[in-house]
Amino acid sequence: MGMNTEEIKLKEDIEIKRKQMISEALKAGLNNEKVIQYSSELDQLLNRLNEVSTNDE
């Protein structure tokens, strides 16, 4: 089955958050508070995508 709009939006948000995290990590280091925050937010987005994808099967 194809992706629904929530999956598409989540994938876009994941890519944006991933780029933000990498950019900040390159500037401030991996242990920077902002990088850790982005990582946590990315985890939440990935978990939500997994839930949506699993429920769509």
Per-residue pLDDT of 17-38, as tens digits, reads 999 999 999 999 999 999 999 9
- The CA distance from 9 to 37, in Å, is 20
Average pLDDT over residues 38-53: 96
pTM of the model: 0.88
Q: Which domains does the chain have, with CATH numbers?
A: 5-56 (4.10.280.10)
**Under a CB-based contact definition with an 8 Å cutoff, are residues 39 and 21 in contact?**
yes
Which residues, 6+ apart, have CB-to-CB distance to 56 below 8 Å? 1, 4, 7
Q: What is the pLDDT of residue 46?
A: 98
Burial 17-27 (b: 16+ CB within 10 A, else e): beebbeebbee
- The CA distance from 40 to 44, in Å, is 6
Q: What is the pLDDT of residue 25?
A: 98
Does residue 53 surpass a pLDDT of 80? yes
